[in-house]
């Protein structure tokens, strides 16, 4: 067997590259035709039922607004029920036929069963399940003194997607529904201070890629991956939700520019309704994947140069379990990048017009 593997190591790579070179034009043509077809025939979402987890802020909130414009029936799920009430009102102003809000923890299977069953009991169906719950960190792995945060990160980023999918999948099959997943480019692009987060996102993408083959054409899956979404990342921010544990989130997501979050949400919903398997924002990040596969050393050297910062190692100790140095800024409650009061005024003016 060792002799066979040694021979295949020499034969398979060059033969595969030659086959790919000949097949590439035809594959590209077929992909373009599929893209044009799906772009022309978008799914009519009016009166359909969409469950969105992690809908209380950021991308989840904006996705709710994009679906609302398509006149769907929304089920908004998060742990901050008070926050969901305001988002639900905004969604109604934007055109949602009906909005149901439910406080639930997506890492608990019983909670997932509860909000899915309540959706079925009320609406009788589920057409789209949108998983947006996500949690990041900004500390180096070796600096984490409190390892209890590790399973929390894995639970939210991985199991927080798997449990809702597992519960909703039988109902999605009945109506050839779709699962939409908020992933990240860090699943394959290595960046410092995101080791656990990146591992969880990699597991998430591999889970759904495998699930595609298991469910075949019965249920569609749209994987959305985003790159750098916001401003420069300096420190982690402490977030305390009502009735929830302390959580640490990436500043790139916390302080992301409104227009970038809105643009990504718009792409996700548009891609999902068109049946796209992947939504990428921005798409030029894919070039790094080629380097990752064919020239990993070049990619590693490039990132070392870009992230070296003259040899200084800047980090955040928030979330590591270690005491903060004297003079550190006070910890603040996380607020959504979306200006709620301003947006509500705009929505009311639009409604009056």
Residues designated as active site: 197
Query: How far, in Å, CA of 195 to CA of 189, rounded?
Result: 11
End-to-end CA distance of the chain: 74
Query: How far, in Å, CA of 82 to CA of 216, rounded?
Result: 39
Cis bond upstream, residue 282 (ω within 30) = yes
Nearest to 222 by CA among 327, 87, 131, 153: 131
Any idea what DSSP says for residue 156?
A: I
Nearest to 143 by CA among 326, 331, 328, 325: 325
Contact of 218 with 197, CB cutoff 8 Å: no
73: Cβ–Cβ under 8 A, 6 or more apart, which residues?
47, 48, 49, 50, 96, 97, 98, 99, 100, 123
Q: Quote the radius of gyration of the chain (alpha carbons, Å).
A: 22
Rounded to 10°, the helix 296-307/286-294 angle is: 120
User: How many CB atoms neighbour CB 88 within 10 A?
Assistant: 20
Strands (E), 148-261: 178-182, 220-226, 237-240, 246-249
Strands (E), the chain: 49-53, 73-78, 98-103, 128-131, 178-182, 220-226, 237-240, 246-249, 278-281
Q: What CA–CA distances, in Å, run from 304 to 171, 307, 341?
A: 47, 5, 42
């Amino acid at each position: 067997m060792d002799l066979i593997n040694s021979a295949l190591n020499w034969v398979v790579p060059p033969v595969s590259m030659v086959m790919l070179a000949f097949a590439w034009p035809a594959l590209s043509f077929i992909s373009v035709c599929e893209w044009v077809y799906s772009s022309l025939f978008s799914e009519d979402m009016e009166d359909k039922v969409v469950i969105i987890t992690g809908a209380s802020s950021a991308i989840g909130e904006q996705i709710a607004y994009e679906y609302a414009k398509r006149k769907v029936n929304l089920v908004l799920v998060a742990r901050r029920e008070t926050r969901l009430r305001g988002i639900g009102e905004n969604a109604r102003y934007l055109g949602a036929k009906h909005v149901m809000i439910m406080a639930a923890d997506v890492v608990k299977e019983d909670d997932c069963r509860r909000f899915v069953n309540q959706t079925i009991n009320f609406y009788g169906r589920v057409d789209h399940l949108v998983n947006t719950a996500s949690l990041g960190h900004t500390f180096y792995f070796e600096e984490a003194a409190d390892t209890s945060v590790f399973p929390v990160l894995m639970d939210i980023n991985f199991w927080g997607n798997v449990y809702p999918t597992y519960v909703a999948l039988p109902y999605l099959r009945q109506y050839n529904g779709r699962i939409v997943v908020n992933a990240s480019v860090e699943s394959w692009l290595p960046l410092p201070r995101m080791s656990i987060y990146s591992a969880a996102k990699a597991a998430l993408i591999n889970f759904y890629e495998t699930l595609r083959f298991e469910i075949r054409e019965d249920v569609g899956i749209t994987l959305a991956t985003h790159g750098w979404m916001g401003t420069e990342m300096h420190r982690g921010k402490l977030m305390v939700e009502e009735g929830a544990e302390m959580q640490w989130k990436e500043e790139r997501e916390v302080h992301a520019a409104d227009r970038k979050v809105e643009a990504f949400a718009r792409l996700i919903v548009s891609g999902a309704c068109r049946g796209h398997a992947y939504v990428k924002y921005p798409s030029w990040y894919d070039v790094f994947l080629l380097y990752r596969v064919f020239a990993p050393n070049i990619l590693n050297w490039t990132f070392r140069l870009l992230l070296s910062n003259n040899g200084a190692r800047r980090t955040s100790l928030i979330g590591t379990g270690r005491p903060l140095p004297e003079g550190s800024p006070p910890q603040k409650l996380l607020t959504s990048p979306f200006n709620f009061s301003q947006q509500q005024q705009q929505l009311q003016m639009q409604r009056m017009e």
